[in-house]
Chains A and B, each alone.
Chain A
Amino acid sequence: MIAINDIHKTFNKGKANQVNAVNGISLHIAEEEFLVIVGSNGSGKTTLLNLVAGSVFPDTGSISIDENNVSKLPDYHRSQWIARVFQNPVSGTASDLSILDNFRLAAIRTKAKGLSIGINDKFKQQVKEKIATLGMGLENKVEQSMGTLSGGQRQALTLLMSVMDSCKVLLLDEPTAALDPRSAEVVMRTADKLITDFKLTAILITHNLKDAYNYGTRIMQMSEGLVLRDLNNKQKSDLKQNDLFDWFG
C-alpha cells in the first residue's frame, strides 16, 4: 500500500540548527497493516508521518501510495487516499464550524468542494447515526460548534470523519497525547475498530507503550531518523510489554 524508498529529510540545511530528521528509511507497508511507531522525541517519527501525508517533501528518495508515486504531491492531493488525526484536537477539526459542517467537509474529502449546498436532512440524519455509534450523546448536538466539545470528543469525531469518505490510509499522530486516560482509551478503541471495520492501512505514532503493545499488527522503533527495530505481527505477538519498556532502557 505504502512504499517508502530511501528517503532523507534535513531541516535548516547548512545552518547551525540543522536537523537530520529522517536519514534514509526504506519501508513497505502492506494493505490493511496497522503499523505502530515508537521512539524518543526527535527520532523522526512525526517527520516520517508528515512525509507520508505530504505536509513536507523528501530531499531524496521516493514515496508511493497504492502504486502511485506521490513524492512531490502536496497533502491536499494525497487526501484522496489519506485521512489524518493530529496530536492536537484543534488541528483536526474547525472550531468555529458546526459539527455538521465539519462532517460535510470530511464527507467530500476526495471530491471537489462545489457551489451546491450539500447539507440536507438526509445528510444530517446520516451524520447523527454515525455519531450515535460513539455512544457519547453527541448526536443531538450536530448544530453546535466544534469548539464547544472536549478534546476527547473532538478526537473521536475526527476519527469518524476520516471514514466519511473513501479512505485507504489512516495516519494517527499521537492522537491521545492531549487526552485524559479514559478519553484516550475510547479514542484508541474507536480507532482500532474503524481500522478493522473499514480494512484501513494505518500508521500510529505513540509514546504510550501500553497502546503500542495492545494495538497494531506491526511495531517499529525509530532512533535518530533510522529504523532501529521492526517487528512483524508474529514477532509482535511474542513480545512482552516489559520488552517494550526495555527498548527505551
Chain B
Amino acid sequence: MDFYLTTVTLGLCYSALALGIYISMKIFNIPDITTDGSYTLGGAVTAMMLTHHQSPYIILPAVIVAGGIAGALTGLIHTKLKINALLAGILVMTALFSVNLTIMGRSNIPLSNLPSLFSLVQVVADPNQNTFWILLVFVILITFLIGYLLKTDFGIAMRATGNSESMIRALGVNTDRMKISGLALANALTALSGYFFVQSQDFADINMGIGIVIVGLGSVIIAESLINWLRITSVWLSLVLVLGGAIVFQLVLAVTLAIGVDPNMLKIVTAVFVLLIVSLPRLSLLRSS
C-alpha cells in the first residue's frame, strides 16, 4: 500500500510539470526543454528559502515567479532573436545550472527537520498520507485554474497561437508576446513541481532536474494517445488525462524497480516505455491496414 501511495504522490508532484509540458508542447507547439533547469530552479529556491525559515506560503509565489522568468527568457530568445526554440531552451537550461548552484550555495541541501508545506497542515496522522492529500488538493486547484484559463478568451487565443499563427495575428494577437507568456506559464508550473518534490522528499539536489523533461513528455504522450484514441475534445478531460499520465508514468517506473530490474537500467526502461507509447498507435494501425 505504502509503495503505491509514495508512487502516486510522486506522480502528483510531477503533474504540474506534465501540465507545463502540455502547454508548451501541445498548446504552443514549442519543444521547450528549459524544463530541466526551471524544475531545479523551483527546488533550489524552495530549499534556500526553507533553510532561511521562510513560510512555504511565501515560497510558493516566489517559485512561480522564478520559473516564470526562466520561461519568459526562453520565450524572449526564441521570439525576439528568432532562435530555434530547442536551442533557446538549451541555452537557458545551461545558464540556469550556475544560477541554481549560486542559489543553493552547494550541490545538496537536506531539509529533513524543517517545516514544509506538507507538515504545516495535518489532515491525517500518517505523514505520507498527509502529503498525498495536500498535494491532491493543490493539483486539483492548479488543474482547475489552467482549465479555466484555457476556456477564457485569452486561453482560446493561446490555443490558436500554436495552431494557426497567421490566423491569430490577423485577429489581432501579438503572437510573440503570447508565446513568451505561454512559456513563462509552462515553466512556472515546472518550477512548482520542483517546489512540491523538494518538500515531499526533504532534499534539494543540483542534479535533480537532469532528464526530468522526459517525465513530462512521457506523461503528455500517454495522455495524448488516449486523447486521440478516444477522440476527446474537452479541455478539462485532456488536462485530467495529463495528470493521469503523470501518475501512470511513475507507476510503470516503480513497478519496473519492484520486479527487480537493475536501477541502472531505469533510464533505458523510461526511454523504451515512452517509445512504446508513441509507437503503439502506429503499430496497431499497421496491423489493421
Contacts and interface: CB of A to CB of B under 8 A. Distances in A.
Given A90-B164, A115-B149, A97 B171 contact: no
A142 B166 CA distance: 22
Contacts of B167: 86, 91-94
B172 A94 contact: no
Interface string A33-76: 00000000000000000000101000000000000000000111
Contacts, number: 93
Contacts of B163: 94-97
Nearest to A79: B172
B177 to A, nearest CB: 9
Interface stretch (B111-119, B150-158, B239-247): B150-158
A113 interface: yes
A94 B152 contact: no
Q: Contact residue range for chain B?
A: 20 to 34
B159 A97 contact: yes
A108 to B, nearest CB: 6
B60 interface: no
Contacts of B172: 76-77, 79-80, 108-111
A115 B171 CA distance: 17
A75 B169 contact: yes
Contacts of B122: none
What is the predominant secondary structure among interface residues of chain A facing chain B?
loop
Interface in B192-221: none
Given A79-B170, A106-B171, A145-B233, A94 B159 contact: yes
B173 interface: yes
A55 B149 CA distance: 29
B164 A114 contact: no
The bracket for how many chain A residues form the interface is 35 or more
Contacts of A113: 153-154, 156-157, 173
A95 B153 contact: no
B157 A91 contact: no
A84 interface: yes
A105 interface: yes
Contacts of A79: 169-172
Contacts of A83: 170
Residue picked from A75, A80, A118, most chain B C-beta under 10 Å = A75
A98 B157 CA distance: 12
B154 A115 contact: yes
B175 interface: yes
A84 B152 CA distance: 24
Given A108-B153, A118-B153, A94 B160 contact: yes
A124 B287 CA distance: 42
B168 A105 contact: yes
A104 B156 contact: yes
B174 interface: yes
28 contacts: A55-B169, A74-B174, A76-B170, A76-B171, A76-B175, A91-B167, A94-B168, A96-B163, A97-B159, A97-B160, A97-B163, A98-B233, A101-B159, A104-B156, A105-B157, A106-B171, A113-B153, A113-B154, A113-B173, A114-B153, A114-B154, A115-B152, A115-B154, A116-B152, A117-B148, A117-B153, A118-B153, A119-B151
Interface of A: 53, 55, 74-77, 79-80, 82-84, 86, 90-98, 101-102, 104-106, 108-111, 113-119, 143, 145
Q: Which 8 A-B pairs have the closest CB atoms?
A: A79-B172, A94-B163, A113-B157, A94-B160, A94-B164, A91-B166, A84-B170, A113-B153
